[in-house]
Amino acid sequence: MHNLTPFSGLLGGALIGLAASMLMILTGRLAGVSGVLGGLLTPRPGDRAWRVAFIAGLIAAPLLAALAGAPLPAPRMTSNMALIALAGLLVGFGTRIGNGCTSGHGVCGFARLSTRSITATLIFMITAIITVAIARHGFGG
């Protein structure tokens, strides 16, 4: 537990909840990032502007922080590009067929007490835990 940062975690989480509340109360839309992005890739026209604006807001957050002196995000992660590409494909396809990701199912779905979202969240959490266990320790969960 030596890396635990509970206060910044709670504060950051509260801001995420605030953002999701704001989007719903103001625009009636659910702040699920995979759904917002995926909606831009459908053949259906219409309702693209708000999606682009939300995505732009996400990208603008670290840029504004950089103006205030924070470094631009440079996440430490594996250098295995094939693995990264495979993970990206799985995340993209999986979140679309499963109708949501950590934000849509995890945050908004739990806040709505949705059976579907709670089920999906438990499944992807357990699957991710097993994946990390195999990748880092070489055994199943």
Partner 1 sequence: MPVIIASFLSGLIFGAGLLISGMTEPEKVLGFLDIFGAWDATLAFVMAGAVAVAAIGFALARRRGTPFLAAKYRWPTRSDLDAPLMTGAVLFGVGWGLVGICPGPAIVNLAGLSPPIIVFVAAMIFGMIGFELWRAQSTAGSAPESSNIASRADG
Query: What part of residues 23-62 is at the interface with partner 1 (CB under 8 A)?
Result: 23-35, 37-39, 41-44, 49-51, 53-62
Q: Which is nearer to partner 1, 59 or 69 (CB)?
A: 59
Cβ 61 to partner 1 shortest distance, Å: 3
**What track of x and - describes contact with partner 1 for positions 114 through 133 (by CB under 8 A)?**
xxxx-xxx-xxxxxxxxxxx
- What's the Cα-to-Cα distance from 69 to each of 57, 63, 72, 76, 87, rounded to whole Å? 19, 10, 9, 20, 32
Instruction: Check binding of 8 to partner 1 (CB under 8 A).
Output: yes
b/e code 109-120 from CB counts within 10 Å (16+ = b): beeeebeebeeb
Count of beta carbons in the 10 Å neighbourhood of residue 103: 20
Residue with tokens 């993970």: 87
Cβ 60 to partner 1 shortest distance, Å: 5
Instruction: Check binding of 93 to partner 1 (CB under 8 A).
Output: yes
